[in-house]
Copies of this chain bind each other. A is one copy, B any other.
Amino acid sequence: MNIYDVSKKAGVSIATVSRVLNGNNNVSEKTRQRVLSVMDELGYTPNVFARGLGLNTMKTIGIMCTDSSDVYLANAVYYLEQELRANDYDSILCCTGTRNSTKKKYMELLISKRVDGIILVGSKFLDTHMEENAYIIDAAKSLPIMLVNCHLDGENIYSAQCDDETAVFSVTDSLIKSGRNKIVYLYTSTSQSGLKKLSGYEKALDLNHIPARTEFMQLCHKDILRAKEYLNSLHARGISFDAVVTSDDSLAVGALKFAYENHIRVPDELNIVGYNDSILARCTEPELTSIDSKVEALCSTTVNTLMGVFAEKHVPSKTLIQAELIVRGTTRL
């Protein structure tokens, strides 16, 4: 017995039943009486514990992301919302920023709102200090925690990740096999996923017996200008390089700007590889070769797994999805 049955039987919209329940005045007295008598007849009483007015669940999932205006995270939020909606779930969005104390506060807040599950988007939710992740393990005691593109071992924690390490390994290895051997790696963060990408770069060098050079690995955040200026500084110091691999398209845009300023021909003299295959990759001239990190597949897997958890099915606690290299004009591979 729920609000939908009342609405159907009374021949009014759910919104009208809701208005009657809320004592809202925008309902005619006649309609109000009809709705109330149907409630009586059906023996309907709003659930005192209030899980969504007579339903046994809020049918609401909390989505936490550090910054929903980030191009990658905005896409993830979009796909998650669509998938959840297709399963009749609402999503409450929380943009947490990157401070641990704020993330914990929002997690607590969402739990107090009694959402049915929480999805953490992006690997910026995991700290390299494991004790800082205790709040996630703790939250998983109350409800399922879904991680999009990061992984944490723990009961009731599920993850879907892109195989970022293999993706960066493969493209770096391909660049080496095609004759490049002075490859700069620019990265956006030292998150779990960020470190895997970096490790993929280092492994490819190692496998090909090319020593890793510290000046060839640089943290630039998602900052186009910082990427450009770092490459300018290498160039000014007479340090030459023939390829730039990045962990985000924004840094590849910066690399292209460096090449433009210094009249370096791309891809003849310099190969550039972006990551995430975002709209930025199609804005530049030439367009960016970029790694498609399969955000849509990660999000649909996450929601499918969550629905499996709710249905008490057996679901994998960890899913790994392969990235795909999209070759455009900034490489000759």
Q: Interface on A for B, CB 8 Å cutoff?
A: 3, 13-15, 17-19, 21-24, 26, 45-53, 60, 63, 67-69, 71, 74-75, 77-79, 81-82, 85, 90-95, 108, 111-114, 141-142, 224, 250, 253, 256-257, 260, 279-280, 282-285
Contacts and interface: CB of A to CB of B under 8 A. Distances in A.
Contact of A22 (B75, B92, B114, B285): B114
Contact of A284 (B23, B114, B283): B283
B49 A21 contact: yes
Contacts of A253: 282-283
Contacts of A85: 94-95
A48 B114 CA distance: 16
Contacts of A3: 112
Contact of A92 (B23, B92, B114): B92
Given A15-B108, A22-B114, A92 B91 contact: yes
Given A18-B112, A280-B280, A50 B60 contact: no
Given A14-B108, A108-B13, A142-B24, A260 B283 contact: no
B49 A49 contact: no
A224 B283 contact: yes
A141 B94 contact: no
Given A26-B141, A50-B50, A82-B95, 14 more contacts: A18-B112, A45-B48, A46-B49, A53-B114, A68-B78, A71-B74, A71-B279, A90-B113, A91-B93, A93-B93, A224-B283, A256-B285, A280-B280, A285-B285
A3 to B, nearest CB: 7
Contacts of A22: 49, 51, 114
A113 B88 CA distance: 12
A68 B49 CA distance: 33
A224 B3 CA distance: 47
Given A69-B78, A92-B90, A93-B81, A15 B49 contact: no
Contacts of A77: 68-69, 74, 77, 93
A91 B68 CA distance: 13
B142 A15 contact: yes
Contact of A81 (B52, B53, B95, B284): B95
A53 B53 contact: no
A19 B112 CA distance: 8
A26 B140 CA distance: 10
Contacts of A17: 112
A44 B318 CA distance: 42
A13 B111 CA distance: 10
A44 B113 CA distance: 18
B71 A95 contact: no
A258 to B, nearest CB: 11
Contacts of A283: 224, 253, 280, 283-284
Nearest to A78: B69
Contact of A68 (B81, B112, B142, B280): B81
A254 to B, nearest CB: 10
User: Of A53, A68, A69, A283, which is in contact with the most chain B CB atoms at under 10 Å from its CB?
Assistant: A283
